[in-house]
Amino acid sequence: MLNIVFIGIANELPEHDDKYELHRLLSTLLSMEMPVDEKLGIMEKEYSISVDDRINVPKDVILSYFYPETPVTKMMEIRRQYE
């Protein structure tokens, strides 16, 4: 089954309203004209999306993604080796 969704995005940012919330977020993210600082400000202020230059993912989560068959106790041993 194939689902296709079209969302109309204008060049101008829609007004801040619950009715246009998704459109405003997508317009902010995909705008080629809006400065990055302004995008980040809108994302944090209006959508509570904080952007950080660090990615904080626990190592055991990463390891369990790549090795799903490995037990948690083994993961903890592997994690201790890299700390």
Tell me the domain boundaries of the chain.
1-51, 54-83
**How is residue 55 written in tokens?**
């990615």
Predicted pLDDT at 31: 85
Predicted TM-score (pTM) of this structure = 0.53
Predicted pLDDT at 8: 77
Specify burial of residue 79 (Cβ count, 10 A radius: 0-12, 13-18, 19+): middle
pLDDT < 70 positions in the chain: 52-70, 75, 78-79, 82-83
Predicted pLDDT at 47: 87
Predicted pLDDT at 82: 65
